[in-house]
Amino acid sequence: MTRICVPIMASTAGQMAREIDDAQAAGAQMIELRLDYLQDRNEEGIRALMEYAACFPGQIIVTCRLASEGGQYNGSEDARMELMTAAIGPATDFIDVEYEAWRHSPLVSEQIGLQCAGGCESRNPQLRLILSKHDFQHTPADLDAIFDKLLHSHADVVKLACKAESITDSLRMLEALRNARRSPLNKGGLRGVIALSMGETGILTRVLARKFGALLTFAALDTGKESAPGQPTIKDLRELYRWDALNPATRVYGVVGCPVAHSMSPAIHNAAFAAVGHDGVYLPMRVEPSFEAFEAFLDGCLARPWLDLRGLSVTIPHKENLLRYAEARGGEIDPLARRIGVANTLHIEPGQREDGSDAKLYAFNTDYRGALDALCQGMGCQPTDLAGMPVAVLGAGGVSRAIVAGLTDCGCRVTIYNRTAEKAVALAAEFGAKALPWEQRVRPGTQVIINCTSIGMWPHTADTPLGETGTSPAATTGGAGILPASGQLTVFDTVYNPIESRLLREAREQGHQTIDGVAMFVGQAAAQFERWTGQTAPTDLMRDIVVRRLTATR
């Protein structure tokens, strides 16, 4: 079973003792005592610390990491060996030393070798040796060859951690983990393997370590206490990514974008998986903006069918790239997604071939469904009831395209207003809508106003696309744009942070019906969820999670 290991990196033995207690309370199954972080590195203090650590019910790793491999230690090897041997006692399960130090320093191999299981003077017959290698600059091309060298050693556990320069490096690291566990050099899989990618795109290796049988994954006690870049907190690992539910059969999903670290999609989809009992995990997947990067990522996933990637949410800037990729691979594209010109969802049905070449791809767009569902639920009507309804759409970007396509498909009379008039005219011509100058919004007779711009989004919450005042010049328009004082108007804002924008607040205060952007966000996510799982999405739960996270952020 893959364990969660929390690194303890405090500068004093007393603080380390407190963090050991915190790690236990948080659910850690292992701790790594980083002696290189101690400011007062004396043998007596370390022995006292180890006596205290003996109360920890899980396993204990001891290391004093060299600065050359990302640690804090710059002293002599003699002093380092004295510190590490002082920390070895009945409570110590593993001692971690650098592979290069083991190879090139007789002092290290002799001193540590005598302490580990099988050594004639071993103080702890159960002590096991971890030989580790770190690269904080890049991910080498020959990961399998590096693991072969590590596996040729006397190590009980081999560890490789490298900086991921792109998400494809993380895919290669997962493959190297899988290969090392199955290698003939691994004595029938008896030796433990740790394989991690550092950086934002390394989250795949840290969460999926359990799926692929790594000895452990590292998780920080709290934000700011990471021992390496990209390390999740133990709280996020256990709660957000549902660590305890992961297993070799778990299906993988994710949100692809750039940036993507602050996406709320992992929170709502993972919670929804748990609610319906779907064996899946949903991860953030940063892919650089070019089509080439997107293509390399998806090619890498499909060539590794054992990854069990089954679905992706695709956001800025890759919605057009998804459509292009699916078309090139002969995937099935939803007609409305093709008409809109962008897709935001990928569904993958695995094939039978080991190279993944017969996997079936389905690309579609759920933005329009999310918007239409939110609109109809807010108005208490069916899509067929929208026929002939006059609707004003503010903006002519990607969100507008999906919404205009959906509205015109329902027979609405759509008028588009955009700050760049040419874009409004082009979008209107494409979907059989009408375009008018931005200054003329919103005209009498309009029944629905949909804001598809970013005006009013946090942190510019004083702005509104229909007001006379605001911090943004784009939001300062004049009297023609003011909401009518009364009437049966529905105002829908696709902005969801804040939940109630200034536009919605003023519309509500004037007696108009309002629909917030959370409804659309949840609606499009629910459509993705149902396509992937075949189950009804728990939309109330999904909305509650978004609202709670937005409230906490604010």
What CATH number is given to the structural domain containing 279?
Answer: 3.40.50.10860
Q: What's the pLDDT at 486? A: 56
Q: What's the pLDDT at 477? A: 38
Out of 339, 365, 391, a domain closes at: 365
Same domain for 206 and 274: no
pLDDT in tens, 14-48: 999 999 999 999 999 999 999 999 999 889 999 99
Angle, CA 445 vertex, CA 442 and CA 446 arms, to 5°: 50
State the pTM of this model.
0.92
Q: Residue 524's pLDDT band (boundaries 50, 70, 90)? A: very high
Residue 500 placed within a domain: yes
Residue 532 placed within a domain: no
Out of 500, 515, 530, a domain closes at: 515
pLDDT in tens, 229-254: 999 999 999 999 999 999 999 999 99
Query: How many domains, the chain?
Result: 3
Range of the domain at 217: 3-245
Q: What's the pLDDT at 528? A: 98
Same domain for 170 and 54: yes
358, pLDDT greater than 80: yes
Average pLDDT of span 533-543: 97
pLDDT in tens, 369-427: 999 999 999 999 999 999 999 999 999 988 899 999 999 999 999 999 999 999 999 99
Q: What's the pLDDT at 113? A: 76
Q: What's the pLDDT at 123? A: 52
Residue 553 placed within a domain: no
Nearest to 242 by CA among 290, 199, 286, 274: 274
Same domain for 225 and 142: yes
Q: What's the pLDDT at 187? A: 83
Residue 554 placed within a domain: no
Same domain for 409 and 485: yes
474, pLDDT greater than 70: no
Strands of the 251-257 sheet, one edge to the other? 280-286, 251-257, 309-314, 345-349, 360-364, 332-333
| Most confident of the following: 102-106, 238-242, 314-318, 475-479 | 238-242
E-state strands within 136-200: 157-163, 192-198
Average pLDDT of span 496-512: 92
Average pLDDT of span 261-272: 95
Same domain for 457 and 435: yes
Q: Residue 222's pLDDT band (boundaries 50, 70, 90)? A: very high
485, pLDDT greater than 90: no
* From 89-103, 309-323, 467-481, the region with the lowest mean pLDDT: 467-481
Q: What's the pLDDT at 120? A: 38
Strands of the 59-63 sheet, one edge to the other? 192-198, 157-163, 128-135, 94-98, 59-63, 30-34, 3-8, 216-218
Residue 530 placed within a domain: no
Same domain for 388 and 341: no
Out of 303, 330, 365, a domain closes at: 365
Give the separation between CA 543 and CA 549, rounded to whole angstroms. 10
Residue 55 placed within a domain: yes
Residue 546 placed within a domain: no
pLDDT in tens, 107-159: 888 888 777 754 434 456 789 999 999 999 999 999 999 999 999 998 999 99
Same domain for 359 and 278: yes
What CATH number is given to the structural domain containing 159?
Answer: 3.20.20.70
Same domain for 240 and 147: yes
Q: Is the peptide bond before 473 cis (omega within 30 degrees of 0)?
A: no
Q: Mean pLDDT score of the chain, rounded to an integer?
A: 92
Q: What's the pLDDT at 188? A: 82
Same domain for 198 and 184: yes
Same domain for 146 and 21: yes
Which residues carry out catalysis?
A: 134, 159, 319, 367
Q: What's the pLDDT at 237? A: 98
Residue 398 placed within a domain: yes
Whole-angstrom CA distances from 13 to 9, 23, 29, 65, 420 are 10, 15, 20, 17, 62
517, pLDDT greater than 80: yes
Same domain for 47 and 91: yes
Same domain for 339 and 467: no
Q: Residue 184's pLDDT band (boundaries 50, 70, 90)? A: very high
What CATH number is given to the structural domain containing 483?
Answer: 3.40.50.720
DSSP letters spanning 382-411: -GGGGTT-EEEEE--SHHHHHHHHHHHHTT
Q: What's the pLDDT at 235? A: 98
pLDDT in tens, 424-472: 999 999 999 999 999 988 778 899 999 999 999 988 999 999 865 333 4
Give the separation between CA 515 and CA 527, rounded to whole angstroms. 18
